[in-house]
Structure 1
Amino acid sequence: MSPPSLIETHPNLSGTAPVALSYELFPPRSPKAAESLWTTIGELEATDPDYVSVTYGASGSNRDTAVELINRLLLETTLRPLAHLTCVGNTPQELAEIIGELLDHGVRGILALRGDQPKDGGEQAKGSLRYAQDLIELIRRVEQRRSALLCAGKVAVGVAAYPTKHPESPSEAHDIEVLLAKQRSGADFAITQVFFRTEQYADLITRARRAGVTIPIVPGVMPLTSVRRLKRLGELTGVEPVPELLEQLASADTEAERLRIGVRATVDLANAALDAGAPGLHLYTFNEHAHALEVLDKLALPRPARSISRLNAIARRQVLAS
């Protein structure tokens, strides 16, 4: 019998892992929106997140503005972009070109998504990819062809996970099987879609781990401060917001009271996920920083110690932007 390895005899060599922090942004739709977004980016950069994700419109409808935003993040900030990429409506050749372009610009993280089906019910282009699993495999093939160019930074591939049943899925069990298939195809981590009840993340983790999913599953949390946004997301995702929270928000006498109620509910949701073992927290910002930072301020996240030079670089950028 072989003696135990060094790793086996010292299971806690690296101590407790810090909690990852990330935000979601979307490309601006106008010059005014761009100005507001860059104010938000400056505020979020000061919290030194591990990455920021940049959304990608259906069938690449905002590809140019998404790539432009990613380039500016790489060139003008200390932030690390995670590029969203959807496959519905695109051929492997088109997607391989986009993936190569992202890698050439310095992107080292891609969130591989299926994307929304055409709303008009029309036929997809011949040869189009149909599932996120196909996109993951394509990313890995493109990465393999460029392996010598990526020696200083391989590609991390993320996917979506669903704490509640996907609107098009026959069951929650099917959603877990899909997540397991994505892992087998090469996914490194998952970020959940929005959820509104404190037990939903823990339930997802239990079901996923029992099925053999081992990749990190990061809870995606939105500030629960807007009745309109909560209702709209409920319609889009098929996930019903908590009626009691909607009622409390709607009956608040002042905006300050509404903010207090929403932030408290968001912090409770995030803490429940962290208590269930969440490896990080992904905040859906809707390109607004104030409420996200209010939530972050109330959370005692154990964050990694950053070098003084990196923190000084962030501080200098804050001064230049002011």
Structure 2
Amino acid sequence: MSPPTYPALSYELYPPRNAEAEDSLWTTIRRLEGTRPDFVSVTYGAAGSNQETAIDLLRRLLTETTLKPLAHLTCVGTSRADLTEIVDRLIGGGVRGILALRGDAPEGRESRPGDVEHADELVRLIREVEAQRVAQLAAGKVSVGVAAYATRHPDSPSFDQDIEVLLAKEVAGADFAITQVFFQASDYSRLVTRARQAGVTIPIIPGVMPMTSTRRLKKLSGLAGIDVDEALWGRLEGARTDEERRRIGVEATVDLARAALDDGAPGLHLYTFNEHSAALDVLDALELERPPEAGLAASM
């Protein structure tokens, strides 16, 4: 009899900017840890602008929690030699998951010979470093994730081009993809359908943000170049209290996540913005099944 399967669950965190933010982040980490996620991703600034802070957070997650960190790594504007050193440092420090991203080039910085410009190149580089550490990995491997776009990437000429790029990242050695934010259930369904038609076989995990903050929604929709549903925006703007706005946003997020899961999504990735309350509200409403704790499973 085959063991039961459970939807994957993961969260995104970002390194704290100061001591106060660090205290708040660790409260969130401890609360999210209780949901037994499959991994938590840790963001990485443009060209490694917060590299040491991110690596310190990864180290603490590995040594002070039960969580498995997925290290974001951007490549644009960074030399192959520097990236090789960073990947080697991550793997040597115990990180076993890397999210390979192109990233945004720092303003005013031009590419130089030897820079890695695209995510598929970064995936190949990670695999090359991994191959050199095969003994330390005990014949295991590093799990490499990449980004997918349920709507057209702002810098892409077309959605079809985005699909071709996703396929190139899989061919380079990617294991799975996480989508950037989207606000319509049909966007995720279309992405998966078109990706499968193009030959993409890796799991595509929907990335969902709790839609409880109109300020955050406005900022992210501008960055992603996509519009928030007008009816939802009107309801959020018309809410008379913060509690009412939160309820509306959580319900909308749950509907979006449930539609993706009903469409066959392998799991759910929640963009937390280092806040746990809304993420936990979404999980509670979804009633997402989680595997039993390891100790309990072993005794059954």
- The residue matched to 1:261 in structure 2 has which SS? helix
Deviations 1:226-269 (A, max 9, x none): 10000000111111111111111111011111011000000000
Deviates more, 1:232-241 or 1:301-310: 301-310
Cα distance in 2 between the residues matched to 1:59 and 1:273: 32
Q: Distance in 1 between matches of 2:226 and 2:106?
A: 21
* 1:174 equivalent in alignment to 2:133: no
Aligned AA (1:233): L
Aligned to 1:30: 18
Q: Secondary structure at the match of 1:147?
A: coil
- Structure 2 segments unaligned to the other structure (5+ residues): none
Residue 61 of structure 1, aligned match among 49, 67, 78: 49
Cα drift, residue 16 of structure 1: 4.9
How far is the alpha carbon of 1:58 from its aligned partner?
0.2
Quote the Cα distance in structure 1 between the aligned partners of 2:245 and 2:203.
33
* 1:76 aligned onto 2:59: no
Q: Are the counterparts in 1 of residues 210 and 249 from structure 2 also a CA contact under 8 Å?
A: yes
Q: For 1:38-49, what aligned pairs fall within 5 Å after superposition?
A: 38-49=26-37
Aligned to 1:117: 105
* Contact 1:18 1:303 survives alignment (8 Å): yes
Which one-letter code corresponds to 1:73 in the other structure? L
Question: Matched residues in 1 for 2:141 and 2:278: separation?
Answer: 34
Aligned to 2:201: 214
Which segment drifts farther, 145-154 or 235-244?
145-154
The letter of the residue matching 1:223 is P
Give distance in 2, aligned partners of 1:261 and 1:309: 37
Within 5 Å, which residues of 2 pair with 1:1-322? 14=2, 16-120=4-108, 122-151=109-138, 153-308=140-295
Secondary structure at the aligned position of 1:22 is classed as strand
In structure 2, what is the Cα distance between the partners aligned to 1:171 and 1:107?
Answer: 34
Offset of residue 14 of structure 1: 3.0
Task: Report the Cα distance in structure 1 between the residues aligned to 2:28 and 2:297, rounded to whole angstroms.
Answer: 19
User: C-alpha offsets along residues 281-307 of structure 1, whole Å, 9 cap, x if unaligned?
Assistant: 000000000000000100122222222
The 1-side partners of 2:125 and 2:93 are apart by: 18
C-alpha RMSD over aligned residues? 1.4
Structure 1 residue ranges without an equivalent (≥5): 1-12, 312-322
CA contact (8 A) 1:114 1:130 kept: yes
**Deviation of 1:152 (Å):** 5.7
Using the alignment, how far apart are the partners of 2:270 and 2:242 within structure 1? 21
Q: Helix, strand or coil: the match of 1:149?
A: coil
1:37-67 deviation digits (Å, cap 9, x = unpaired): 0000000001110100000000000000000
**Which range moves more in the overlay, 157-166 or 145-154?**
145-154
Cα distance between partner residues in 2 of 1:201 and 1:107: 29
User: What is the CA distance between 1:308 and its match in structure 2?
Assistant: 2.7
Deviation at 1:181? 0.4
> What do the CA deviations read for 1:90-148 (whole angstroms, capped 9, x no partner)?
1111001100110111000000000103333x312331101000000000000001111
Q: Is the 8 A contact 1:108 1:153 kept in 2?
A: no
The equivalent residue for 1:320 is none
Tell me by how many angstroms 1:15 deviates.
5.2
CA contact (8 A) 1:26 1:56 kept: yes
- The separation in 2 between residues aligned to 1:161 and 1:17, in whole angstroms, is 24
Structure of higher CA gyration radius: 1
Shift in CA distance, 309/97, structure 1 to aligned 2, threshold 3 Å: farther
The one-letter amino acid paired with 1:20 is: A
Residue 192 of structure 1 and its aligned partner are, at CA, apart by 0.2
- Cα distance in 2 for partners of 1:83, 1:266 equals 25
TM-score, normalised relative to structure 2: 0.97
Alpha-carbon offset, residue 89 of structure 1: 1.4
Give distance in 2, aligned partners of 1:175 and 1:235. Answer: 19
Deviation of 1:71 after TM superposition, in Å, equals: 0.2
Q: Distance in 2 between matches of 1:165 and 1:21?
A: 25
Cα distance in 1, alignment partners of residues 22 and 106 from structure 2? 28
Conserved 8 A contact 2:47-2:105: no
Percentage of identical aligned residues: 61
